[in-house]
Amino acid sequence: MVRVLTNVNQIVWQNRREREALRMITDRNFLHTRRIDPDLLNSTGIITDFQFIFRALGWENAWRVNEDGCKELIIEILCTLQLFSSHCMFRMFNEEFSYT
């Protein structure tokens, strides 16, 4: 089954924090990039989080993805992402994922 988000109105926001996150990022430019820049991730300190999450998802090779992203799907993931000391949680296509 192919699932596609074409509008942020298709996303079911579950709480005020998610709606506030949407408000904060909704007017940002979304530019496709053909690679993840490890220098940028290092300089912002987020590389550890990316490595942790990708490893937890089994996406260690995601660094080599060469496809355009989906703005609406990225918005859903970012607005629903929660990091805890023992796991992370987020939603994709309104389905919740939790990884230790």
Asked if the structure places residue 11 within a domain, the reply is no
Whether residue 85 lies inside any domain: the answer is yes
88, containing H or E segment: strand 88-92
- Whether 4 is covered by a domain: the verdict is no
* Number of domains into which the chain is organized: 2
pLDDT for 86? 95
Are 97 and 77 members of one domain?
yes
Q: Tell me phi and psi for residue 88, to 5 degrees.
A: -125, 155
Are both 98 and 77 inside the same structural domain? Answer: yes
pLDDT tens digits along 21-37: 999 988 888 877 656 67
| Residue 19's pLDDT band (cuts 50, 70, 90) | very high
Is pLDDT larger for residue 76 or for residue 70?
A: 76
Q: Which domain holds residue 100?
A: 72-100
The C-alpha atoms of residue 98 and residue 100 are separated, in whole angstroms, by 7
pLDDT at 65 over 60: no
Q: Which two tokens stand for residue 62?
A: 């995601």
pLDDT band at 13 (very low <50, low <70, confident <90, very high): very high
